[in-house]
Amino acid sequence: MKQLVLAERVCLIGHILAKVFGLVGILLVIPHAEFILHFGQVGENAMQTSMADGGVVDIIFGTVAVSIYAYRVLGLGTWLAFMLPAVSISVGSELLGTSTGFPFGDYSYLSGLGYKIAGLVPFTIPLSWFYVGLSAYLIARAGLNLAEKPTWGRQLGAVALGALLFTCWDFALEPAMSQTNLPFWFWEQPGAFYGTPYRNYAGWFGTSALFMSVAGILWRNTSIKLKRSQLTLPLVIYLSNFAFAAGLSLGYGFFIPVSLGFIFGVIPAILLWWKGAGVSSQVAVEGANQEMAVAPVEMAVK
């Protein structure tokens, strides 16, 4: 177990460092590429490697970190019950979107995110839906105390909140990723919201809500009680991914999308994490107190 925790932390740190590296590269290095190219073949190779593999390494590190976390904390079956629907539904939605324009709008992926499935969707895209989606959903479930009160209303609330957190990440991500000096996708017909169609956000919400709903149904007989320390990685994953997106967008002057994402995504995520962590800690303390109260009775019976 210690080896798993170590691998998880190494991948998380690698994920965050890759985000920082990518942010510096897009905002500072690429606009001043002539400086790097002064180093000759070494500089040229560094530039090409960064452009070709930087985004792939970042997403793979995030996927592995969250996968190890989910296996270690939730268990193999619970992890796969989220990952498989998230990956399959999101890749299906992305393939449909890049082929027909539904549900996101007319868009196409460029290079920089790895091998493209069917020549349309980079394989890293459904992975990012998985690891950020799981982080958002776990935070929402914990904040609503779903483990202690698994009502249908709370189930639906967790899906809605998780999908909202996930979509708010895209508020900050979308404008910059399609309009930087190194765009990763482009819109055939730019939309009204800083170049992004409004329907794109509806597509993000609907797709994430769908696979979170499937996972919620598969988890219906599973009690997931996470302590404060066990909720830290999902929060760090969510905040670091938002910070990367916000840094890119702010670097290109997209202040309003970042502000909306911060107000409706970051702040609720922190509040839900704080509330959920507090509830989990309280439950653990109450359980320990009950065990201590029962112990003397058991001894007296013996």
Q: Dump the DSSP string for 199-256.
A: HHHHHHHHHHHHHHHHHHHHTTT------TGGGHHHHHHHHHHHHHHHHHHHHTT-HH
Q: What is the pLDDT of residue 295?
A: 45
DSSP, collapsed to helix, strand or coil, labels residue 108 as strand
- Closest by CA to 204, choosing from 265, 248, 262, 150, is 265
Q: What's residue 33's pLDDT?
A: 57
- 10-residue mean pLDDT profile of the chain (302 residues): values are 94 95 76 59 52 77 98 97 98 97 95 91 97 98 87 94 98 88 86 94 98 96 85 97 95 95 97 79 41 42 40
The Cα–Cα gap between 269 and 162 comes to: 9
pLDDT of residue 148: 82
Domains of the chain by residue range: 74-301
Question: 119-147 burial, b for 16+ CB within 10 Å, e for fewer?
Answer: ebbbbbbbbbbbbbbbbbbbbbbbbbbbb
Could you give the dihedral angle defined by the CA atoms of residues 128, 233, 258 and 243, in that order, rounded to the nearest 10 degrees? -90
pLDDT for 36? 62
The residue count of the chain comes to 302
Quote the pTM value.
0.88
For residue 224, the model assigns a pLDDT of 87
Tokens of 145: 């105390």
According to the model, what pLDDT value does residue 240 have?
97
